[in-house]
Structure 1
Amino acid sequence: MKLIILDRDGVLNYDSDNYIRSVDEWQPIPGSAEAVGRLCNAGYTVAVATNQSAIGRGFFPIEVLNGMHNKMSSLTAEHGGEFAHIAFCPHVPDDHCDCRKPMPGLIHQIEQALGVSANDAWMVGDSLTDLKAGASAGCKTALVMTGKGERTLPKLKADAELSDRPVFDDLSAFVDWLLGQAE
């Protein structure tokens, strides 16, 4: 199975430092739903690993998160894509859980849910925490410049373990590159 794991906020949809708090606030980044469709049509399995501490902070209930994910899934399905699994961490950093990125727990949840190994999967994110979670789970990692990507890039270049990771303008550019590699 060719597995791609995506962060959500900043990769699939616009992000906010004040959190995405409603279904209406969840807005896709142009081309992201199409990019997931292209991956699925090329035989990739796509999953999502997302920190959602807004739940733990009491900003919205799980039902709102489910509504966001239903919207995300519906828009993606319009372009021939689907998410095989959506793993989320509802905890705040002080909870010290093993699922909040940069810990690899969400990726392990995806492995267990899909019965696959994340070794050689791709983890695509817009933050160093995304890439660290992916790397610690054995994934290849890539940064996108959407979301927090621009402010993450200097941190990435300064990180001895991750500085050589590929960087793309957005998810569509990553998919263009990945599918071009397969030709």
Structure 2
Amino acid sequence: DVPAVYRKPSPRFILECIDQFGLDPGACWMVGDRLSDVQAGIRAGIHAALVTNGKPAEEPLAEYLHRHAIPAYPSLAAFIESTCAGAWRP
């Protein structure tokens, strides 16, 4: 059984991966389709983005994204195209 400390929005798993693989947190992203995904990224101190999969973000989620300046993309492909093309700047 996996301890609850590894469940999102806990940043523990993300932070352990960053440490284990010697990653630069400033170059890391947490991309997901739920609020807990975005929260985990923010709590880990890395970039976060929401993928809506074509669905509009519900009001509490949309407000959270706006408050934390989190970008939202209609698909994972759109996120990759945007970030790889250099359209996003921290």
How far 1:125 moved relative to its partner?
A: 0.6
Residue-by-residue CA offset, 1:67-102 (whole Å, 9 max, x unaligned): xxxxxxxxxxxxxxxxxxxxxxx45xxxxx321110
What aligned pairs does 1:166-177 form with structure 2 within 5 A after superposition?
166-177=71-82
Please give the alpha-carbon distance, in whole angstroms, between the structure 2 residues aligned to 1:116 and 1:108: 10
Please give the alpha-carbon distance, in whole angstroms, between the structure 2 residues aligned to 1:175 and 1:107: 20
Residue-by-residue CA offset, 1:119-155 (whole Å, 9 max, x unaligned): 3422111011000110111111110012xx8365422
Gap change, CA 1:114 and 1:134, over 3 Å in 2: same
Residue-by-residue CA offset, 1:29-48 (whole Å, 9 max, x unaligned): xxxxxxxxxxxxxxxxxxxx
Please give the alpha-carbon distance, in whole angstroms, between the structure 2 residues aligned to 1:180 and 1:151: 24
Higher percent of residues as helix: 2
1:125 and 2:18 equivalent?
no
Identity %: 31
Please give the alpha-carbon distance, in whole angstroms, between the structure 2 residues aligned to 1:152 and 1:99: 25
SS of the residue 1:181 aligns to: coil
Gap change, CA 1:145 and 1:119, over 3 Å in 2: same
- In terms of Rg, which structure is larger? 1
Q: Which amino acid aligns with 1:131?
A: V
| Structure 1 stretches of at least 4 aligned residues deviating more than 4 Å after TM superposition | none
In structure 2, the residue matched to 1:115 is 22
In structure 2, the residue matched to 1:6 is none
SS of the residue 1:106 aligns to: helix
Please give the alpha-carbon distance, in whole angstroms, between the structure 1 residues aligned to 2:57 and 2:5: 22
In structure 2, the residue matched to 1:154 is 59
How far 1:157 moved relative to its partner?
A: 1.8
Structure 2: runs of 5+ lacking an equivalent = none
What's the Cα RMSD here? 2.3
Conserved in 2, the CA contact under 8 Å of 1:123 and 1:140? yes
Please give the alpha-carbon distance, in whole angstroms, between the structure 1 residues aligned to 2:43 and 2:24: 13
Q: Which amino acid aligns with 1:113?
A: Q
1:142 and 2:49 equivalent?
yes
Structure 1: runs of 5+ lacking an equivalent = 1-55, 57-89, 92-96
Number of aligned positions between the proteins: 86
- TM-score computed with the length of structure 2 as normaliser: 0.77
